[in-house]
Amino acid sequence: MARRKKIYEGKAKTLYEGPEPGTLVQYFKDDATAFNAEKRDVIEGKGVLNNRLSEYFMTGLQQIGVPTHFLKRINMREQLIRAVEIIPLEVIVRNYAAGSMAKRLGMEEGTPLPRPMVEFSYKNDDLGDPLVPEEYIISFGWASQQDLDDMVALALRVNDFLSGVMYAVGIKLVDFKIEIGRLYEGDFQRLIVADEISPDSCRLWDLETNERLDKDVFRRDLGNLADAYTEVARRLGVMPTNSAPLGKPTLIN
């Protein structure tokens, strides 16, 4: 890795220059943070699990026609991705009240919502990723109305896919966050799913017991985070191994 140029280091992942123009290598760290990095720890194996789980979800999304940045997994902790311009928003979809929504509105966690609700936070750690209305997004030029419509459509497709995949293994998708990037192709640009999809960025509850199988285990000191993620991977049949990635790289069409 030392031979590669570091492009960006975030809290849970590092991006390196890719082997070809327009690509990056995304490295998954074991670091876990919460509450804007006020709480932090190193959870051995988390990066390996999230690399595999994000590969699994992104590959599935591509197979149903939802474009993502994922190209192929390189090894236990790294994947090759398309370089995109990240829109500085966290796109959150909620099916049940939990977390900040439950707190803000005084709702009981787990209350079903009348429909999937999409909200946007401005990605800025210093400000604690504040929730922003669509009018701010358009007025400040972070995205156009067309972008917003496309982002909501993309987020809802991801929601339907992930909800179904999770339901099939006895897990309720309570909410999740995605990040979306702009991919430039000549004169055109389109929006694709970027960053990661993993139990770091979703709320996953056991369908029967409501046991938490996501980063809330760490945020709220509910047990062993790696065990929770391993359980998600086990149910999905995605177990980390030392084997080389299977199959051909999945290319965005």
Binding letters toward ligand TMP, positions 27-66, x by CB under 6 A: ----------------------------------------
Which residue lies nearer to ligand TMP by CB, 113 or 252? 113
Cβ-contact 188, 181 below 8 angstroms: no
CB of 59 to ligand TMP, least distance (A): 20
Binding letters toward ligand TMP, positions 153-192, x by CB under 6 A: ----------------------xxx---------------
Considering only CA atoms, which of 54, 70, 50 is closest in space to residue 62?
70
In the beta sheet, which residues pair with residue 117? Answer: 94
Residue type, 77: R
Cβ-contact 104, 159 below 8 angstroms: no
Is there binding between residue 99 and ligand TMP (CB under 6 A)?
Answer: yes
> Distance of alpha carbon 11 from its chain centroid, rounded?
13
**Choice from 183, 202, 217, 228 touching ligand TMP (CB under 6 A):** 202
CB of 184 to ligand TMP, least distance (A): 26
The interaxial angle of helices 46-63 and 225-236, nearest 10 deg, is 30
CB of 233 to ligand TMP, least distance (A): 18
CB of 175 to ligand TMP, least distance (A): 4
Any idea what the Cα angle at residue 62 is, between residues 57 and 66, rounded to 5°?
100
Rounded to the nearest 10 degrees, how much is the dihedral formed by the CA atoms of 109, 111, 115, 118? -10
Is there binding between residue 218 and ligand TMP (CB under 6 A)?
Answer: no
Which residue lies nearer to ligand TMP by CB, 32 or 148? 32
